[in-house]
Amino acid sequence: MDRTILFHIFAAVLFLYIFPITCLSKTSTNITTDQYALLALKSSIALPPDHILVNNWIATTPTLVCDWVGVTCGKLHRRVAALDLPNMGLIGTIPPHLGNLSFLVRLNITNNGFYGDLLAELANIRRLQYVDVSLNNFGGPIPHWFGAFPKLVFLNVQNNSFSGSIPQDFGNLQSLKVLIMQFNQFTGCIPPTIFNMSSLEVLAFTGNSLSGNLPANMCSYLPNLKSLYLSVNYLEGQFPPGLQECSKLQVLSLSVNQFTGRIPSKIGNLTMLKQLYLGGNSLEGEIPREFGQLVNLELLALGHAGLTGLIPSLLFNMSSLEEIYLQANNFSGSLPRNICPRPLLRVLDIGRNKLTGNIPSGVGNCTALSTIDLQENNFTGNPI
Ligand SMILES: *[C@@H]1O[C@H](CO)[C@@H](O)[C@H](O)[C@H]1NC(C)=O
Ligand SMILES: *[C@@H]1O[C@H](CO)[C@@H](O)[C@H](O)[C@H]1NC(C)=O
Ligand SMILES: *[C@@H]1O[C@H](CO)[C@@H](O)[C@H](O)[C@H]1NC(C)=O
Ligand SMILES: *[C@@H]1O[C@H](CO)[C@@H](O)[C@H](O)[C@H]1NC(C)=O
- Which residue of 69, 72, 84, 112 sits with most ligand 2 atoms within 8 Å of its CB, as the best mutation to test the pocket? 84
* pLDDT tens sequence for the chain (384 residues): 466 665 565 555 444 444 444 444 445 778 999 999 999 999 999 999 999 999 999 988 877 899 999 999 999 999 999 999 999 999 999 999 999 999 999 999 999 999 998 877 788 898 999 999 999 999 999 877 777 787 899 999 999 999 999 998 888 898 999 999 999 999 999 999 999 999 999 999 999 999 999 999 999 999 999 999 999 999 999 998 899 999 999 999 999 999 999 999 999 999 999 999 999 999 999 999 999 999 999 999 999 999 999 999 889 888 899 999 999 999 999 988 878 877 789 999 999 999 999 888 778 888 899 999 999 999 887 544
**What is the per-residue pLDDT for 150?**
77
Task: Give the largest Cα separation in the chain, rounded.
Answer: 115
Cβ(170)–Cβ(141) below 8 Å: no
- The reported pTM is 0.89
Q: Is residue 67 part of a domain?
A: yes
Distance from residue 172's CA to the centre of ligand 3 (Å):
10
Distance from residue 189's CA to the centre of ligand 2 (Å):
29
Q: Is residue 74 part of a domain?
A: yes
**What is the per-residue pLDDT for 2?**
60
Q: Domain containing 116: what range?
A: 28-128
Nearest residue to 258 (alpha-carbon basis) of 237, 287, 228, 277: 237
CA distance 346 to 359: 17
Instruction: Give the pairing of strands 71-73 and 80-84.
Output: antiparallel
Q: Provide the CB-side half-sphere exposure for 41 (13 A, CA).
A: 25
CA distance 314 to 284: 20
State how far Cα 291 lies from the chain centre: 26
At 24, the amino acid letter reads L
Sheet holding 378-380, edge to edge: 308-310, 330-333, 354-358, 378-380
Q: Is residue 139 part of a domain?
A: no
Burial of 17 from C-beta contacts in 10 A (0-12 / 13-18 / 19+) = exposed
Q: Is residue 174 part of a domain?
A: no
Per the structure, the count of domains in the chain is 1
CA 121 to ligand 1: nearest atom: 5
Q: What are phi and psi of 148, to 5 degrees?
A: -100, 0
Domain of 52, CATH number, reads 3.80.10.10
CA distance 322 to 347: 7
Distance from residue 295's CA to the centre of ligand 4 (Å):
14
- Which residue of 269, 291, 294, 295 sits with most ligand 4 atoms within 8 Å of its CB, as the best mutation to test the pocket? 269
**What is the per-residue pLDDT for 22?**
41
Nearest residue to 379 (alpha-carbon basis) of 335, 322, 336, 325: 335
Distance from residue 26's CA to the centre of ligand 1 (Å):
13
Nearest residue to 343 (alpha-carbon basis) of 317, 314, 325: 317
Sheet holding 185-188, edge to edge: 91-92, 113-116, 137-141, 161-164, 185-188, 209-212, 234-238, 258-261, 282-283
Instruction: Answer whether 275 contacts ligand 3 (Cβ < 6 A).
Output: no
CA distance 161 to 181: 10
Q: Is residue 212 part of a domain?
A: no
Instruction: Answer whether 192 contacts ligand 3 (Cβ < 6 A).
Output: yes
Q: Is residue 115 part of a domain?
A: yes
Q: Is residue 382 part of a domain?
A: no
Sign of CA dihedral 85, 86, 92, 98: positive
Cβ(87)–Cβ(14) below 8 Å: no
Distance from residue 379's CA to the centre of ligand 3 (Å):
54
CA distance 98 to 37: 5
Q: Which residues on adjacent β-strands are paired with residue 347?
A: 323, 371
**What is the per-residue pLDDT for 24?**
43
Q: Is residue 279 part of a domain?
A: no
Distance from residue 22's CA to the centre of ligand 2 (Å):
39
